Structure 1
Amino acid sequence: MLSKSMIEDVLDEACLRGADFAEVYDENTFLQETQLNQEEIEQSLTGRECGVGIRVFKGDSCYYGYTNEKSEGVIQRLTRDLTKSMKDGSMTGDFVKSGSVPGNFRMRDGLFEKKNYTMGKETALASAMPLGRRLEPAKLAIRAGMAYDEEIVRMRVKLTDMEQLVQIANTEGIYVQDQRVKTRLYMTSFAQSGTDLQSGYYGPGAMRGHDYYDRIDVEAAAREASRQAKTILHARECQGGQMSVVVDNGFGGLLFHEACGHSLEATVIARDSSEFCGKLGTQVASDVVTLVDDGSIPNEWGSLHVDDEGMPTQRNVLIEQGILKSYLVDQLNGQRAKLAPTGSARRQNYKYIPTARMTNTYIAPGDHAPEEIIGATEHGLYVRTINGGSVDPATGDFNFSAGECYMIEHGRIGMPVRGVTLIGNGGSVLKKVDMVGNDFDLRQGYCFASSGALFIDAGQPTVRISSMTVGGIG
């Protein structure tokens, strides 16, 4: 990693050349990904990526550049190029509006002493393991998934291990180093009847080392993927319409991640292009809804010790009993919108500018048992898994593809259905949540947006939306 004296020289150089603020982001990442089709290795990737990103602010502009060469000459030249663009007004870097920033100064007192964040002593690094031992959980999953039922014809499993070390310093005196270790097992099961082939998926992961697999039941997770595949294989096509929708706990929380989470990020708030702009302190959801984003939960897949601007992550209550309390805020967009940063700045790697993004986002548990919620639903749809979707943050309009689903008739779960889409508006859906369960769970995923692909958790207890548009064949 870069030395303290070298970082101070870069920050000094930027300030002396007129920058109002400067930041150095130094990264060293080791990644291993191995995909097995049945028990044969189908694809394998092992690599190390190192690089440095330099960010400077001037007035209302942000200039960013990066390099994968860490020599002092290259980094100083990158800094000079950025400040030259800044003075010329040429937009070789990304342009982001901001508000007032610290005045031009030289770092006479230097950086603070570095604060180090590390993983626990029990963390077992996959990079130190022989390949055979590292692949044991994947092979165990394949055998268990294949044994679930005779209609399961194939298992594809990917094992991902990441070890990342980042160093972040800026002209406000922040100087931190964060060790981040992630591991995840992606299990896809395929069920077939005649020419009809359907899949099920389960993907547990954590901010832990390979010791994570001693804490979970890999075989049960694989059987869950196979159960989903077999269920969807024999489901009938969904008849669409307007109806109540009950969303299962866990990754059902992706619905709210997409439907309203992105609209609460300062990335869109600062541009005045969110449906939630100017609504702090007002009621935006039913009073049974509390929405939280918390990047500080120990060992969760979406967690970090510090965000990608060096600020410790924290629990941010976004909506409390229906009242909008906070947004997710990074430094630059916070300055523009006159909001304090919330430890929510994130980026995929040194090639991206950090911006406000979600971490572990969830609906807090309520008072109802899941059976009570289903029993109170005369006619509707029960959604167990959501595959993914998209949202327009400006309007809140969304569209999701659902996986395993069932019709609810007279308070009972009926036949499975497939081909389901969920269509609606984030602000509208929040107000139509009328029952929240007590069976809270978090699940793992990825979020793709302007600062790259990021590991996130989405979660909730069982939730009922009183009325929603369900797309199907009719």
Structure 2
Amino acid sequence: MLSQNMTDKIIDYIMSHGGDFAEVFAEHTRRNQLAMTGGNMSEALAGVESGVGIRIFSGDQCAYFYTEDEREENLFRLLKENWKAGEPVRPDWKKLSADQKIYDSTTEHFKSASVKDKMKLMEKCDKAGLAYSSQISQMYLKYLDMDQHVQIANSEGRYTEDHRMKTRFFIEAVVRDDQDVQRSYYGPGAMGGYEFLEQINVEECARKVAQNAIRCLGARTCPTGRMPVIIANGFGGLFFHEACGHSLEATSVSDNGSEFSGKLGTKVASEKVTLIDDGSIRDGWGSGYIDDEGELTRKNVLIKDGILKNYLVDRLNGKKLGLSANGSSRRESYRFVPVARMSNTYIAPGSDDVEKMIASVDRGIYVKSINAGSVNSITGEFNFNTGETFLIEHGEITVPVHSATLIGTGGDILQKVEQVGKDYELGQGFCYAGSGAIYIGAGQPTVKVSEMTVGGDEIC
């Protein structure tokens, strides 16, 4: 990590040589990862990453470069080689001062654990899943943690630091019979240390995952056509993260590359929909005290009762839009330029009863999880494969189905949200985009979409 004196020198040089804005991002991160397959350790990784990224604005131009070598002579060599300096002028920027703030996004006390303790936890989980049924052919388990310290300074006088600790445990069960193979998974994660896992009954989680996998054996082919779709609470919220969340990031909006560009203050969704992104949720998997430009994270209401209220805004794209940055700028590491990205994104709970919601569907599908897919942020068109999915017939959830695909546009689906339940949960995952892989939360209560195109192998 850099001294405050060093960040001062870097910014002073840039602002003395034609820069309008300068930012220094330094990072030191430790990562650990263990995996167990079939009762045997299949992976054990530990690594440390440390480096510095420097960003410069000058007029409409933006330059960014990074290095693992934090020595002063190397940093200034990079500056001179990569920054085509303008005419030297006397720097007129706010020197770093008593405004500096150091944050700790972790819980007040986070706990570490030995590799041996982590392995014991995985072994317990493996045995519990296999013991649930002889149909379980294999358990796959993964433990990961990250301890990240970031330091951000800029030419507006900002000097901030944040300490972020993340821990996650991933459980997958594989079940097979003579004709079918099915998988189910669960991956709880949080901002915090090993104490997070001590609060969870991982053996019960393993049994639940095994039960879900067995329930999907013998799944029928999914019907094809237009039909109601009910998306389960929790990580079912990934659907809205993908279908419309990316189109609300200023990265897309500022270049008119989003179906929501220029629509602030207009109705873009059913009045049942309130969509929120909140990077300040305590212990949230996608949380931090500050974002990766040093802005305080906050609760951003993007859509309120169907009306578009806000975008997720970073500094550069905010300048283009005439909007202030709102704590939404994120990056995987110092190797990436920060841009507006989601943190913990969710649909706020409503007042509808889930049982009545299901009972209202004569023929449709109930989606418990979303898998891979693709989205065009310009048009809003999406195509997603589902995970655990069930047929709804005459108001009841009946048999599992496979090969289900959800097809549509984000704007259209938002307008067709007909009911929103009370059973809000937030799931955990990763998001891969221009500024790298980042930790995200995605959640919702149970949601009913009145009609959607469903792709499958069976024609209705």
State if a TM-score over 0.5 links the two structures.
yes
* Separation (CA, whole Å) in 1 of partners of 2:413 and 2:165: 36
Check if 1:114 corresponds to 2:114.
no
Which residue does 1:80 correspond to in 2?
A: 80
CA change 1:108–1:255 in 2 (3 A) is: closer
Report the CA distance between 1:258 and its aligned residue. Answer: 0.5
> Distance between the aligned counterparts of 1:104 and 1:124, measured in 2?
49
SS at match of 2:132: coil
Q: In the alignment, does 2:189 pair up with 1:202?
A: no
User: Of 289, 293, 296, which residue of structure 2 is paired with 1:305?
Assistant: 289
Matches within 5 A, 1:316-331: 316-331=300-315
Deviation at 1:189, TM superposition (A): 0.8
C-alpha contact (below 8 Å) 1:231/1:404 kept by paired residues: no
* Equivalent position amino acid for 1:4 in 2: Q
Could you tell which deviates more after superposition, 133-142 or 183-192?
133-142
1:296 maps to which residue? 280
SS at match of 1:268: helix
Matched, 1:55 2:55: yes
Could you say which residue in structure 1 is the equivalent of 2:418?
A: 434
**What amino acid is aligned across from residue 220 of structure 2 in structure 1?**
R
Give TM-score, length-normalised by structure 1: 0.94
Residue 427 of structure 1: SS of its match in structure 2? helix
2:429 pairs, out of 445, 448, 457, with: 445
Distance in 2 (CA, whole Å) between partners of 1:29 and 1:130 is: 18
Amino acid at match of 2:7: I
**Partners of 1:112 and 1:10 in 2: how far apart?**
19
1:123 corresponds to: 110
Q: 1-side partners of 2:441 and 2:108: how far apart? A: 24
C-alpha deviation, 1:216, in angstroms = 1.5
C-alpha distance in 2, partners of 1:391/1:87? 41
Displacement of 1:112: 4.2
In 2, the alpha carbon distance for the partners of 1:48 and 1:406 equals 43
Partner amino acid, structure 2, of 1:388 = A
Moved over 4 A (4+): none
2-structure distance, mates of 1:424, 1:140 = 42
Tell whether the 8 Å contact from 1:369 to 1:439 is kept in structure 2 after alignment: no
2:36·2:140 contact (CA, 8 Å) conserved in 1? yes
In structure 2, C-alpha distance between the alignment counterparts of 1:104 and 1:323, rounded to whole Å: 47
Which residue is 2:19 aligned to? 19
Match of 1:375 among 359, 374, 378: 359
Distance 2:386 2:369 in 1: 6
Question: Counterpart of 2:210?
Answer: 226
Is 1:180 matched up with 2:167?
no
Partner residue in 1 for 2:125: 141
Q: State the one-letter code of the partner of 2:447.
A: V
Residues matched between the structures, number: 456
Cα distance, 1:140 vs structure 2: 2.0
TM-score between the two structures when normalised by the length of structure 2: 0.97
Quick one: distance in 1 between partners of 2:334 and 2:135? 45
* 1:364 matched to 2:353: no
Q: Deviations over 1:19-50 (max 9, x none)?
A: 10000000000000111113311011101000
Identity %: 47
Amino acid at match of 2:48: R
Aligned ranges for residues 212-223 of structure 1 at < 5 Å?
212-223=196-207
Q: Tell me the secondary structure at the aligned position of residue 144 of structure 1.
A: helix
Whole-angstrom distance in 2 between the partners of 1:130 and 1:301:
22
Indicate the residue corresponding to 2:4 in structure 1.
4
- Paired residue for 1:96? none
- Of stretches 399-408 and 221-230 in structure 1, the one that deviates more from structure 2 is 221-230
- Does residue 1:406 correspond to 2:397, yes or no? no
Distance 1:104 1:280 in 2: 40
Moved more, 459-468 or 235-244: 235-244
Aligned mate of 1:236, from 217, 220, 229: 220
Alpha-carbon distance between aligned partners in 1 of 2:103 and 2:224, rounded to the nearest angstrom: 50
SS at match of 2:265: coil
Partner Cα separation in structure 2 for residue 195 and residue 436 of structure 1: 37
User: Structure 2: which 5+ runs fail to align?
Assistant: none
When residues 439 and 104 of structure 1 are mapped into structure 2, their CA distance, relative to the original with a 3 A threshold, is: farther
Unaligned runs of 5+ in 1: 89-102
Aligned residue in 2 for 1:93? none
Contact preservation (8 Å) 1:56, 1:82:
no
Partner of 2:298: 314
Which deviates more from structure 2 when the two are superposed, residues 268-277 or residues 193-202?
A: 193-202
Report the secondary structure of 1:240's partner residue.
Answer: strand
Answer with 230-239 or 346-355: which moved more. 230-239
Partner of 2:323: 339
SS at the partner of 1:234? coil
| Amino acid in structure 2 at the alignment position of 1:143 | K
Matched, 1:132 2:116: yes
Instruction: Verify the 8 A CA contact 2:219 2:399 in the aligned structure 1.
Output: yes
> What is the SS of the residue equivalent to 1:272?
coil
Report the Cα distance in structure 2 between the residues aligned to 1:384 and 1:3, rounded to whole angstroms.
49
1:14 and 1:87 mapped to 2: Cα distance? 9
Q: 3-state SS of the aligned residue for 2:83?
A: helix
Q: CA deviation at 1:167?
A: 0.3
| Paired amino acid for 1:16 | S
Residues 104 and 276 of structure 1: CA distance in aligned 2, closer, same or farther (over 3 Å): farther
Kept in 2: contact 1:112–1:173 (CA 8 A): no
Distance 1:21 1:219 in 2: 52
Distance, in Å, in 1 between the alignment partners of 2:53 and 2:94 is: 23
Shift of 1:109: 3.3
Shift of 1:369: 1.7
Instruction: State the shift of 1:164 in Å.
Output: 0.3
**Structure 1 residue 206: Cα displacement:** 0.4
Superposition deviation, residue 111 in structure 1: 4.1
Please list the CA deviations of residues 112-161 of structure 1 after superposition, one character each: whole Å capped at 9, or x if unmatched.
44311112332113xxx321112232222211111221110000111001
Counterpart CA distance in 1 for 2:195 and 2:322 is 43
Measure, in 2, the Cα distance between the counterparts of 1:82 and 1:19: 13
Match of 1:308, as an amino acid? D
Distance 2:9 2:119 in 1: 44
Aligned CA distance change for structure 1 residues 136 and 114 (closer, same or farther; 3 Å): farther
d(CA) in 1 for partners of 2:177, 2:94: 72
Opposite residue 103 of structure 2, the aligned amino acid is Y
Q: What is the RMSD of the two structures over their aligned residues, measured on CA atoms?
A: 1.5
Instruction: Output the CA distance in 1 between the equivalents of 2:418 and 2:284.
Output: 29
Distance 1:162 1:294 in 2: 21
Summarize the alignment of residues 132-171 of structure 1 with structure 2, pairs less than 5 Å apart. 132-171=116-155
Distance apart, 1:243 and its partner CA: 0.2
Q: Distance in 2 between matches of 1:221 and 1:80?
A: 55
Correspondence 1:43 to 2:43: yes
Q: Is the 8 A contact 1:20 1:105 kept in 2?
A: no
- Choose the corresponding residue for 1:268, options 234, 246, 252: 252
